[in-house]
Structure 1
Amino acid sequence: MNQSPAQAEHPYHHRPNPAESAGTISAPMLNPQPDDTFPPIDSLLFAADVFFRFCHNQPYSLFHEATFRQRLVAGELPSHLMWALLAAARRYSSLPNLQLNDSDDAQVYARKAWECMKLPWSGGVSDEEVVPILQSIILIVNVEHPSGLCASAYMKLGFAIRLVLHSKLHLEPEGTLDPTFREERKRTFWSIYLQDKLISLSRERFSILRDEECRIQLPCSEVAFREGRYEQTPTLEQFTGDCLDQESADSCCPLALIAVMASTLSRVSYYVLQENRYSQLGLPWSSTSPYASISSTLLQLEIYFGMNEDPKKALRERCYIDESIDQHLAGPFIYSKALFHLSHCLLHHPFLIQQRLQKLKQRAPPIFINTAWQTCRMHAQRLIELKDTKHHNVLVLTSLYGYCTMVAGTIHVLSMNDDNQSIREQGQEYYNSALDFLNDLSCYWKHAALMATRLERFRQQCENRRTDMNPCADKSGHSPGDVKALWQSVDYALLSAPTRPGSPTHGQAPGGIDLFTPQSKLFDFADFDTFAEGLGIFSNLPVLENKNLFPDLEISAENDDSLESVSAK
């Protein structure tokens, strides 16, 4: 049969055999890149090894591995996508034989990816052209936002979302598409959706994608994706109503569950961080309030997906294949649990509840605020405990874990002011664990180092103002500095910014500040054997030696008691 030109040029027309081992592709590049400064093929293949071991489904799923590797070897990938690949892989390993004049740094590669990208401002491009651009932007944003370049990441993501809507990637495509490309297209959209929800965990930034407009199916199972076959899956709409059916829950894979949890988290963040400014939605204990409806949704998700089950038990039931854990299932499942517990922490946070009541000129019934505080503490504990799944060889290193740990850590600091001695002791224990985890994450994410410093300062501030920081006290006991510090402790954008909130960054991190540990002290995941042997490789990650990494934050203000102005002892 003769092929049409369109068929011959389609990048997914000749799919590799999915059963073929991805690691067998080692032939020289057939069509070398014309840019002599571009890394050699062995460096790119090594970066692909790192990416699919440590980035795929963590939490973004962008590429069909066998197809991606074949196109990489054939030189069919756009330059911007290869630079973005290097940026993502560099987070977890040094890269061999780069032969570049620039420094070996993830931000450098992300910048190169953006600079060589030809953006389709005029529209009218095919899905085959749009999807690689979106994939690169997703990887770039995931480098920039944790590096403190929040405004730059926000702008780039905004363009990507508009490109998604213009290209109608939020709608189900024609059934004639190649199944592999169709699923990549779908997973790319849900990755953009997730970034939109996470980057709006702030008082100043709003989500753009509305759930009711996302008519595309959720991601299919990992097995179906690997085999390159189509699989019918539910839509997000089937999880956002009042009733969730068992059939939809059973067909929701761990990766799809991330989108479901992100939708709920977005409802929480809008209610507690953004709408809280106006508080027009009534009292939280009203049966018709968003507080009640979101609580109901979280309860359903808990029942159908075992969100409060012991992680070890849940992993064995949901993420084991042939008696061994599958990282591409386990990573998304634990990430989903983190989003679930984070939703509870924010929804039931006593400070955020009190802020709403302050605007309504109301006071909370003691039983309500005490129950909310108990629920908040419990889920903050579950959040911190998720880090222990590393002992079962689950990767818990994605950038959002820094924010989750910071939110949970500040809750545990507040519990150190509780009237109950056992609660205070528990708070101290979990605070120490949160700080240790942030220090571990600091080896890979710059904003985690910043959060570790801010968490220590928050503890110091609460210790100095113990009588004023009772978590269940009404707002009248909080100074303006206390209020500012508490707002900062739950705002993802402010927590990720490397300078004092409100000061300009000019699109770059402060000069002369290296927030990573020295390369010699950085755990390098290039040695994959230790991971495969199940030796608990994450139990002894290096801790940053220099805690005073943010001289730009050492700002004294006569009447400012915020996180930013409290000096470390």
Structure 2
Amino acid sequence: MPSQPLPSVLSTLFSEESIYLVDLYFKFIHDQPHSLFHEPTFKASVVAGTVSQPVLLSMMGMSARFATQPDIRSRGPMYCAKGKAALKDDLENVCIENIQACILVGNNCFGDCSADAESLYFVIAIRMSQILNLGGCNEVDDGVMCETKRRIFWTCFIIDTWASGGSDLSRQFGWQAKQPRVPMDESVFSSMKPGDSDIAESEWRPGLWGHMVRLVGIYSQIQQLHTQLAETAEWDEALMDESVRRLEAELDAFAQNLGPGLKFSMENLAVFVSRGLGSVFMAFHLGYHHYYTLLFYQYLDQRRPSTRNGKKHADRCKAHATIICNILKASREVPGAEALYNIVGHVTIVSSSVLLHTYLFGEPHELEDSRNGLESNLESLVQLRSYWPSVELMINRLVVFQKNCIMSLGRNTHRFDKWMVKFLIAHSLALEDKVDNMWPDSDQGQTPEDASLERSRITQSMIMDIQNSDTFGGATGYPE
């Protein structure tokens, strides 16, 4: 459905500012937490004045966070409010533009600490995509529209997986036997023009977002495993090890099929940055290594019965958490590789919790690297918090995690339970202190050693520093 031109009262304000903020969106957000647009076509609609008002206003509200000019940045909440109001006025119009707007509004809500509103808008987007059957193309659709529909379909699938787990709610999008093909190579899609035919199967190859879709299918199984563990009083260690082995094999097979050019390295990052896909490359690897970290996380619990692969799994958890730290560091230092979308905060928190646990309970040879990694991650959290108020709540979750680790210093571990699953997956929910802290009698009476107390004081000081640091940083330091 064609969008109406912007009212003249708003057109004067938008003009150059709207184009500037749209450019910021495509630089810092596009193809990272979601993939909703064909960039050349969308920008052309902005210039022509035919762009959807709910979409444009919501996009401007999101990207104003990254503006270096204080006056433009200060208008971000106004754009968010106007975008939400425009969407509500047209909410019964089931169309692609309103799906895009719902996803943008949902992201703005989550970034501003309104997780319940985020869930509502995401559910509306998912239902609209099902009504429109975005998994299939119409005969009148050109290649750009076909691929845009696929990307919105898979965005809804990924959002449903992450957001439902993040709020501890049931999923809306079930995996079906017949699905549209996953998104194509981003460079090929970007080079397509309106009227072009869809890419033939013989010429099609998946892009980074196509790989992300396949990874999320594995992630959903990891979510299910964690939920089962949390709801089971007595674990069947053999069954759990078998489940982990199976999912590990899926992730390892996925990695082997990627080829050397898609592995995370500074050389490969430079190639993707040169193609304008540095941030998408980072988003892909943050998710990939986050899923590995989650899969092996329960093996950090040193109270668990010894298993044949327990130490190996714990070491792999630490290794992938460290790779996330390296990715975040590169994202801060390499222009064109920024990872500044909201959910990076949660990925950083989980990685930081592994590094924190390693520093508190690890071997002497692990201390320097885990402390340096934790300090580096905290830099990313301070940076992310300057754009997204919700990251403050995520930092608070790390504070609660640290507190519970310190409470268990005499027992030399923390317990993997429902509380821990909430910490790892339900990122939208506030994290309370543990109520049930029961431990075997053999642990009673133990007290932490002086070295452990010193480690706890160091980590407390590190996290306190970021809590007390300036929360307003803006996008200074990034090329416009």
TM-score normalised according to structure 1 size:
0.68
| Residue number in structure 1 paired with 2:295 | 347
2:58/2:105 contact within 8 Å kept: yes
| Residue number in structure 1 paired with 2:153 | 189
Structure 2 vs 1, CA of residues 325 and 457 (structure 1 numbering), >3 Å: closer, same or farther? same
Q: Distance in 2 between the 1:71 and 1:315 partners?
A: 31
Structure 2 vs 1, CA of residues 112 and 423 (structure 1 numbering), >3 Å: closer, same or farther? same
Q: Distance in 2 between the 1:500 and 1:39 partners?
A: 44
Indicate the larger mover: 376-385 or 426-435: 426-435
TM superposition shift of 1:285: 4.0
Match of 2:17 among 16, 21, 43: 43
> What secondary structure, in the 3-state scheme, does the structure 1 residue paired with 2:387 have?
coil
Matched residue type, 2:51 = L
| Residue number in structure 2 paired with 1:210 | 174
TM superposition shift of 1:485: 6.0
Matched residue type, 2:408 = R
TM superposition shift of 1:265: 1.6
- Structure 1: which 5+ residue stretches go unaligned? 1-8, 12-29, 235-246, 356-362, 502-513, 529-569
TM superposition shift of 1:467: 2.2
| Residue number in structure 1 paired with 2:117 | 152
> What secondary structure, in the 3-state scheme, does the structure 2 residue paired with 1:349 have?
helix
Q: Distance in 2 between the 1:464 and 1:353 partners?
A: 14
1:285/1:292 contact within 8 Å kept: no
Matched residue type, 1:64 = H
Residue 380 (structure 2) pairs with residue 446 (structure 1): no
Match of 1:251 among 201, 205, 225: 205
Structure 2 vs 1, CA of residues 150 and 295 (structure 1 numbering), >3 Å: closer, same or farther? same
1:61/1:188 contact within 8 Å kept: yes
| Residue number in structure 2 paired with 1:325 | 274
1:39/1:97 contact within 8 Å kept: no
> What secondary structure, in the 3-state scheme, does the structure 2 residue paired with 1:211 have?
coil
Q: Distance in 1 between the 2:247 and 2:343 partners?
A: 22
Match of 2:475 among 520, 523, 531: 523
Matched residue type, 1:305 = L
> What secondary structure, in the 3-state scheme, does the structure 1 residue paired with 2:66 have?
coil
> What secondary structure, in the 3-state scheme, does the structure 1 residue paired with 2:424 have?
coil
Residue 406 (structure 2) pairs with residue 463 (structure 1): yes
Residue 104 (structure 2) pairs with residue 139 (structure 1): yes
Matched residue type, 2:25 = F
> What secondary structure, in the 3-state scheme, does the structure 2 residue paired with 1:61 have?
coil
| Residue number in structure 2 paired with 1:115 | 85
1:442/1:516 contact within 8 Å kept: no
Structure 2 vs 1, CA of residues 452 and 352 (structure 1 numbering), >3 Å: closer, same or farther? same
Matched residue type, 2:344 = Y
Indicate the larger mover: 251-260 or 209-218: 209-218
Q: Distance in 1 between the 2:19 and 2:91 partners?
A: 32
| Residue number in structure 2 paired with 1:380 | 321
| Residue number in structure 1 paired with 2:451 | none
TM superposition shift of 1:309: 4.0
Q: Distance in 1 between the 2:118 and 2:267 partners?
A: 37
1:442/1:448 contact within 8 Å kept: yes
> What secondary structure, in the 3-state scheme, does the structure 1 residue paired with 2:413 have?
coil
Structure 2 vs 1, CA of residues 441 and 37 (structure 1 numbering), >3 Å: closer, same or farther? same
Matched residue type, 1:369 = G
Structure 2 vs 1, CA of residues 141 and 118 (structure 1 numbering), >3 Å: closer, same or farther? closer
The aligned length equals: 442
| Residue number in structure 1 paired with 2:310 | 369
TM superposition shift of 1:110: 2.5
| Residue number in structure 1 paired with 2:39 | 65
TM superposition shift of 1:300: 0.7
Q: Distance in 1 between the 2:422 and 2:412 partners?
A: 15
Q: Distance in 2 between the 1:121 and 1:517 partners?
A: 39
| Residue number in structure 2 paired with 1:75 | 49
1:40/1:97 contact within 8 Å kept: no
Q: Which has the higher helix share?
A: 2
Residue 56 (structure 2) pairs with residue 88 (structure 1): no
Matched residue type, 2:423 = S
> What secondary structure, in the 3-state scheme, does the structure 1 residue paired with 2:182 have?
coil
- Aligned ranges for residues 483-502 of structure 1 at < 5 Å? 486-494=420-428, 497=430
| Residue number in structure 1 paired with 2:225 | 271
Structure 2 vs 1, CA of residues 197 and 463 (structure 1 numbering), >3 Å: closer, same or farther? same
Q: C-alpha deviations, 1:104-162, integer Å up to 9, x for none?
A: 35444333222222577767x5xxxx111011111111221132211110111111111
2:58/2:104 contact within 8 Å kept: yes
| Residue number in structure 2 paired with 1:422 | 365
2:102/2:124 contact within 8 Å kept: no
TM superposition shift of 1:189: 1.9
TM superposition shift of 1:373: 1.2
1:147/1:446 contact within 8 Å kept: yes
Q: Distance in 2 between the 1:470 and 1:270 partners?
A: 24
TM superposition shift of 1:500: 6.2
Indicate the larger mover: 251-260 or 364-373: 364-373
Residue 251 (structure 2) pairs with residue 298 (structure 1): yes
1:435/1:455 contact within 8 Å kept: no
Residue 340 (structure 2) pairs with residue 392 (structure 1): no
1:285/1:368 contact within 8 Å kept: no
| Residue number in structure 2 paired with 1:21 | none
Indicate the larger mover: 56-65 or 285-294: 285-294
- What's the RMSD between the two structures over aligned residues? 3.7
Q: Distance in 2 between the 1:136 and 1:95 partners?
A: 25
> What secondary structure, in the 3-state scheme, does the structure 1 residue paired with 2:225 have?
helix
Structure 2 vs 1, CA of residues 269 and 136 (structure 1 numbering), >3 Å: closer, same or farther? same
Q: Distance in 1 between the 2:406 and 2:6 partners?
A: 60
Q: Distance in 2 between the 1:406 and 1:163 partners?
A: 33
- Structure 2: which 5+ residue stretches go unaligned? 434-466
Q: Distance in 1 between the 2:327 and 2:176 partners?
A: 31
| Residue number in structure 1 paired with 2:187 | 223
Q: Distance in 2 between the 1:191 and 1:494 partners?
A: 19
Structure 2 vs 1, CA of residues 444 and 265 (structure 1 numbering), >3 Å: closer, same or farther? same
Structure 2 vs 1, CA of residues 155 and 374 (structure 1 numbering), >3 Å: closer, same or farther? same
Matched residue type, 1:135 = Q
TM superposition shift of 1:213: 5.3
2:144/2:198 contact within 8 Å kept: no
Q: C-alpha deviations, 1:282-335, integer Å up to 9, x for none?
A: 84644994323211110111111258944213335xx44xxx6223x2222221
Residue 286 (structure 2) pairs with residue 338 (structure 1): yes
TM-score normalised according to structure 2 size:
0.80
What percent of counterpart residues are identical? 17
Q: Distance in 1 between the 2:210 and 2:234 partners?
A: 30
